[in-house]
Amino acid sequence: MSDPIPANKACDSDAPQTDALLQMLEEMIREGTPNLLRLYRNPWVAQACLVLAELVRHLFSETVHLPRFPSFLANSGEEALSGALKLARFTIHKRLSQTSTRPPAAVALHHQAAPPAFAHFKPADAPHNAGSIHFLPEVYTLSDREFSMALRKQIPEHGIAVLSAATLLADSQKLTQDLRTFQQNDGLVVITVRLSDMKTPELLQKTADFVPDIVVCDDSMTDGIVPFGAFTAQPRYYSAWTKKKMSTFHSTTYQPNTISTRYLVNCVSRQLPEFSQRLQQKLTAILSNPKTCRQVFSDLFSPSLSKTITAAGFDQDSVSVAGHFVNVGSRRLFDGIGGVACSLRGHNPQFWVEEIRRTPVSHDRLEIQEHLFSLTGLPHHVPAVSGGAAVESALKLAIIALQPRTHILVLKGGFAGKTLLALAGTERPFYRNGLDPLYPHVIYVDPFAEDAVLQLENAVRFNPIAIVQLELIQGVGGVRAVPQSLLNRIRQLRDLHGFVVFADEIQTGMFRTGPFVRSSATQLDPDLMTIGKGTSDMMFPFALTLYSDRIASLLQKANCPLPDQLRRTYGYETGYRCLLNTLSRCRHSPVEKQVLYAGDQYHKTLTKLLASNPLVKDIRIFGLLIGIQLDLRNTLPARIGLNAAQLILLQMMHHSDFPVLMGYCQYEPETLKFTPPLTVRTDEIASSCAAIAETLHTSPLTLIRTGLRALIRSGIPG
């Protein structure tokens, strides 16, 4: 319990910027503005993407002759750079698949392109001077001379070069010419920029006639007050990710959200008043004219999401949220998705800002450590800005601590995130295709296979396993619990072989299944754990990686700087306050009992109402993490080529008495997923169960008519 507690990322509650943030949040809550709602054509997301596109034109004025660059929104510069490298590799792989030439060359990352948020992309020092650990193969941080040589000789074609805009100012004109030649040889150039770059006249002159392929921004765009990152890219590259079936290929936890995008626009307006004034008319039009908002949202963020919003009937002037409900025009929908398990007490808790202001500042992190230790048995933690970032931290900490062991054993069916290292735990090929090379030392075991224990034993016996990674209940994989017998064997093998166990509790933590974390109900005693989603209280993006004394001791012996780096980079004051507020509030209320009771009510009611429904194969309920597995293969919609599960969800949203928002499991689209607020009331349980049951009894022709109306609304070809 003696972790150093570095200085807060944002100082105290009296800091003008933090106070401005809280005032903005007060206004959002008062007006019912949605923060985390995917089916909301968010005007501040559209504004932010327009600002980013125009900032690119401001810094690289030659791009004015090109269509505006669309944006990918992330929670940090690290996530944004990870997304940029994914897009670059995806683009190069696509080119090479058409030419049948050699695989893509290395990523050359200029050392000055790696501020603290990008330190993730550097190799880590192995303990005891045993070399370097490359979490991301073929990504190399190079000095000035090495970088110039790489551009000219080492990666002359099909490579990726990453450098900061400031490097263009500091270096000779030869560098710019080398970059152009590099692009002509099918290389892609990624430029990282900070808000201060936009205020440097000398840099603006230097970059005027250069056209980057991708531009990455970090949280300097939001003054380090709220988590933010983004990349903008030439449309000819970015459009590959927004085509049909690729719309969720690159999304990330907590994005898009209103807090970071709205704060970005405010921050740029304050820091670059002349630039913002030129955009004011367009920014105002986005807020006041739904047609303008729709166009900008579609062109500069996500055309597929924009069409989905229209198809769902959310293309309204008036969309608001409060508590457990979303209001769309005259419709009032019960939100059973809640940011996919983010919802503790629903949208925009009425007194949230007041609670945050009352939360003490000076010792909050130490108090959080004590809270978390009592709830999880893990005494150490580092902050993160998303579930994927927390997973990456867990993997890096374990691999460094367990050197020279290198291998990760992952139980199939989990979903660890989509950033480059987190993809080690996301084994589905769809999310990995075209992104090679990824971390190579990964072994996958199917936890539901008959010989799962044998696979596990052989993997541990014949490989230097450092970490076993698992989700106790696979939220994306169908809401399935990993068999207790396998968990028992993992624990026994850990005692024999000394690897560490990492329980990813992003979806199962924060009381979602009853106890604070699912691990406490399994006797697994993990060495590392991630919690997220509910840590945000649907308001402020935040997550944590927790770890044991053993790992802390090994990291200390290795002189590993990573924990302190993570605390400095991602220790957002408002994030810590948000978490501490939740922990303190739950300490004085029987949350676990409430969730278990609500889950039991859902189980009894759904089992009764769906017992005779031929579509229902299974109902899986763990507290308020609920999955309903359907068999839709022989339904009329499926036989004529329609997505029957999506039609059911659409019909549920238009239920006459109690419209309900639900989701589905990405790995098993025929399994509906339901994650209502932890504060769901008894009457809401009864009403939502009735709506679910009635919808699943809807005639196929009615489902098809509902779907056709949605297609007509959105303009999607039938």
Give the CATH number of the domain where residue 451 resides.
Answer: 3.40.640.10
| One domain, residues 461 and 568 | yes
Nearest to 596 by CA among 683, 514, 517, 678: 514
- Give 533's contacts (C-beta < 8 A, 6+ positions apart): 253, 339, 340, 341, 342, 387, 506, 507, 509, 510, 512, 543
Q: Does residue 197 lie in a domain region?
A: yes
Q: What tens digit of pLDDT does each residue of 598-655 get?
A: 999 999 999 999 999 999 999 999 999 999 999 999 999 999 988 999 999 999 999 9
* CB atoms closer than 10 angstroms to residue 85: 25
**Does 632 fall in a domain?**
yes
Whether 612 and 658 share a structural domain: yes
Residues 397 and 344 both lie in one domain: no
Which of 88-102, 201-215, 512-526, 690-704 shows the lowest per-residue confidence on average (mean pLDDT)? Answer: 88-102
The answer on pLDDT for 541 being more than 90 is: yes
Residues 106 and 162 in one domain: yes
The stretch 473-488 carries a mean pLDDT of 96
Q: Are residues 564 and 645 in the same domain?
A: no
User: What's the mean per-residue pLDDT of the chain?
Assistant: 90
- Do 556 and 510 sit in the same domain of this protein? yes
Sign, CA torsion 175/178/184/188: negative
- Can you tell me whether residue 71 is helix, strand or coil? strand
Is 243 a member of any domain? no
Instruction: Please choose, from the candidates 625, 401, 411, 586, the residue with its C-alpha nearest in 3D space to the C-alpha of residue 508.
Output: 625
Kindly state the helix (H) or strand (E) to which residue 480 belongs, with its residue range.
strand 480-481
Structure tokens, 401 = 């601590």
Range 241-248 contact pairs with CB under 8 angstroms and sequence separation of 24 or more: 241/72, 241/87, 241/90, 242/70, 242/302, 242/303, 242/304, 243/304, 244/304, 246/304, 247/302, 247/304, 247/305, 247/308, 248/666
Q: Which of 214, 241, 271 is the last residue of a domain?
A: 214
Residue 623, Ramachandran bin (φ over 0: left; ψ between -120 and 50: alpha; else beta): left
* Joined tokens for residue 482: 């990993």
CATH of the domain at 322: 3.90.1150.10
Of residues 392, 406, 398, the one with CA closest to residue 130: 406
Structural domain includes residue 227? no
Does 294 map to a domain? no
Residue with tokens 């025929």: 670
Number of independent structural domains in the chain: 3
- Same domain (yes/no): 623, 522: no
Question: Greater confidence, 662 or 430?
Answer: 662
Q: Is residue 269 part of a domain?
A: no
Residues 371 and 518 in one domain: yes
> Using 50, 70 and 90 to split pLDDT, how confident is the model at 121?
confident
pLDDT tens track for 446-470: 999 999 999 999 999 999 999 999 9
Q: To which H or E segment does residue 606 belong?
A: helix 591-610
Q: Are residues 554 and 485 in the same domain?
A: yes
Provide the domain limits for residue 207: 79-214
Task: Determine contact, residues 563/544, Cβ cutoff 8 Å.
Answer: no
Taking the C-alpha atoms of residue 182 and residue 110, their distance in angstroms, rounded to an integer, is: 15
Q: What is residue 135's DSSP assignment?
A: S
668-696: per-residue pLDDT in tens?
999 999 999 999 999 999 999 999 999 99
Q: pLDDT tens digits for 194-232?
A: 999 998 888 888 888 899 999 999 999 999 999 999 999
Q: Which of 156, 191, 214 is at the close of a domain?
A: 214
With a pLDDT cut of 90, the percent of the chain lying above it is: 71
Which has more pLDDT, 650 or 156? 650
| Cis, peptide link before residue 437, omega less than 30° from 0 | yes
Tell me the CA distances in angstroms from 355 to 246, 418, 516, 654, one per residue in order.
40, 33, 21, 35
pLDDT at 131 (0 to 100): 72
Rounded CA-CA distance 580/352 in Å is: 12
Q: Say if residue 694 is in the same domain as residue 718.
A: yes
Judgement on whether residues 319 and 374 belong to the same structural domain of the protein: no
In a domain, 548, yes or no: yes
For 408, the 3-state DSSP assignment is: strand
Domain end marker among 585, 601, 628? 585
DSSP H helices, 240-332, are 258-271, 273-288, 290-300, 303-311
359 in any annotated domain? yes
Contact 318/329 with Cβ under 8 angstroms? yes
- Would you say 62 and 329 are in contact if contact means Cβ atoms under 8 Å apart? no
- Per DSSP, helices labelled H in 321-425 are 338-341, 352-358, 364-376, 387-401
Assess whether 570 and 597 both reside in one domain: no
